[in-house]
């Protein structure tokens, strides 16, 4: 149970931290020093037209849903390996897609790229569902191959 609570809070923390980290990282990649990139992020935190806090909240929504899901899904006494693999696949798929989309939005020169922030939670939730299914399937296939190789 203790491990599940730690996973819950790490998932929540990642959801809220990924957007500011990507914002600072893309500013630094464009040539700005990291301290000034952090100052710029703090300056845009609640500024109209930027509102980095709202962007971080929108980005965190699928990870909040995943954190609540894993809290209930993994809080049994004996957690099957397929469940744990499914949750791991879900979090990996969601994190990968979130990082990719945020970097693409931040580095885009298009004036309408910020529309992607509104679709991001839905895309990430869909990717998390696919990742969950893939993780469970990989665990089942791995378990079968382990059983068949030990029987032979």
Q: What is the pLDDT of residues 82-139, one digit of tens each?
A: 888 999 999 999 999 999 999 999 999 888 888 999 999 999 999 999 999 999 999 9
Average pLDDT, the chain: 89
% the chain with pLDDT above 70 = 93
User: pTM for the complete prediction?
Assistant: 0.86
- Give the pLDDT band of residue 51 (cuts 50, 70, 90): confident
The residue that leads in pLDDT, 2 or 117, is: 117
Report how far residue 17's alpha carbon sits from residue 116's, in angstroms, rounded to the nearest whole number.
18
Closest CA to 75 of 4, 144, 126, 150: 4
Q: In the chain, where are the structural domains located?
A: 2-151
User: Do 118 and 69 meet the contact criterion of CB atoms below 8 Å apart?
Assistant: no
- Give the pLDDT band of residue 143 (cuts 50, 70, 90): low
- Give the pLDDT band of residue 140 (cuts 50, 70, 90): confident
Mean pLDDT of 30-56: 90
pLDDT at position 80: 81
pLDDT at position 151: 46
Alpha helix stretches (DSSP H) within the chain:
2-29, 34-43, 52-73, 81-107, 116-151
- Give the pLDDT band of residue 54 (cuts 50, 70, 90): very high
């Amino acid at each position: 149970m203790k491990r599940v609570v730690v996973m819950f809070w790490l998932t929540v923390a990642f959801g809220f931290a990924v957007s500011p980290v990507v914002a600072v990282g893309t500013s630094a990649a464009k040539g700005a020093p990291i301290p000034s990139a952090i100052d710029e992020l703090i300056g845009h935190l609640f500024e109209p037209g930027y509102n980095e806090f709202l962007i971080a909240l929108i980005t965190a929504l699928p990870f909040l849903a995943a954190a609540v899901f894993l809290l209930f899904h993994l809080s049994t006494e004996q957690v099957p390996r397929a469940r744990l693999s499914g949750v791991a696949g879900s979090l990996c798929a969601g994190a990968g897609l979130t990082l990719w989309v945020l970097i693409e939005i931040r580095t885009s020169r298009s004036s309408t790229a910020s529309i992607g922030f509104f679709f991001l939670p839905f895309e990430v939730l869909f990717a998390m569902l696919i990742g969950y299914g893939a993780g469970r399937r990989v665990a089942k296939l791995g378990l079968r191959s382990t059983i068949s190789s030990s029987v032979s």
